[in-house]
Amino acid sequence: MNDGGQRRYGPLGTALVIIPTYNEAENIKPIVSRVRAAVPDAEVLIADDNSPDGTGKLADELAAEDDQVHVLHRKGKEGLGAAYLAGFRWGMEHGYGVLVEMDADGSHQPEELPRLLTALKSADLVLGSRWIPGGRVVNWPKSREFLSRGGSTYSRLLLGVPIRDVTGGFRAFRRETLEGIGLEDVASQGYCFQVDLARRAVAAGFHVIEVPITFVEREHGDSKMSRDIVVEALWRVTAWGVGGRAAQLLGHRRPRS
C-alpha cells in the first residue's frame, strides 16, 4: 500500500518482540539472545502455553537474568493466534509503542528485525516477506513452498489485498494499528490468523509495506503446522472473500435514495 508520502508518522516508542512458545526448550535461549543482540533497545515477551518440555521454566530463568525479558505463562496450548492476542494485550497494557510477531524456532532471523523497525518509521504495519524480490526460503521442500505461495496467492486474489506474503508471521505493528483493527473479535489461528490481521489492516486504510526476509526452516523441535490449520485457513479465507464480494454486489445494486 502507498500513502503517497502524505502522512506524517510519530515516533515508534519501545518495541516488544512477542515470541509464542510451545515445546521450544532447545530454541528459546538462542533466539532470545539473538533478539537482544540485534535490537538491544527492544524488549522480549515469551508467551508460553504451559510447555511440557520446560520451556516456561527456561523463559523464567532468562527473565531473571535480564530486565528486558518478560514471560507470560498461559494455561495450555490454545494456538498461535490466541498466544499473539494475549501478547498484544499485555504489550498494550504496558505501554509499548511497537508490537512484533516472531517465531521461536529460528525461522525468522532476529538480525533482520532492524530492517522491519526502520521501515515501520513510515508505515503502520511492516511484513517480513518471503515472496517479494530479495526474499527467500532456505531448506524447504518444494511441496511446502508450493503450499505457502499458493496460500498467499489465493488469499491475495480472493480478498483483494495488495500483499505478496499475506500468510507470513514476521511482522511489526504500531500500537495504533492494533488498536484500530478490531482485535476483540479475532478468533482465527495459524496461517489464517496472519491473513486475518493483514486484511483488517488493509480494510482499515492502514499503510502496509513488505520488506524482504530470509526464512530458514527450523533445525530443532517439531513444526506446529497441521492439516487442521490449513483447512481452517482455506474455509475462513473463502468465507471472507465470498462475503466481501457479496457485500460489494449488494452495495452496487442498492437503489439510490
Question: 203 near 184, Cβ under 8 Å?
Answer: no
- Cα separation values, 158 from 149, 195, 235, Å: 14, 11, 12
Over residues 101-109, the mean pLDDT reads 95
Question: 128 near 213, Cβ under 8 Å?
Answer: yes
Q: What pLDDT is attached to residue 140?
A: 84
Q: What pLDDT is attached to residue 132?
A: 96
DSSP string, 177-207: HHHHTTGGG----HHHHHHHHHHHHHHTT--
Q: Quote the cell numbers at residue 112.
A: 533482520
What is the percent of the chain with per-residue pLDDT over 90, rounded to a whole number?
A: 67
Which amino acid does the sequence have at 31? I
Q: What pLDDT is attached to residue 257?
A: 31
Classify each residue of 2-30 as buried b or exposed e, where b means 16 or more C-beta atoms within 10 Å of its C-beta: eeeeeeeeeebeebbbbbbbbbbbbbbee
Q: What pLDDT is attached to residue 250?
A: 60
User: Which range among 33-42, 186-195, 230-239, 240-249 shows the weakest confidence by mean pLDDT?
Assistant: 240-249
Q: What pLDDT is attached to residue 4?
A: 45
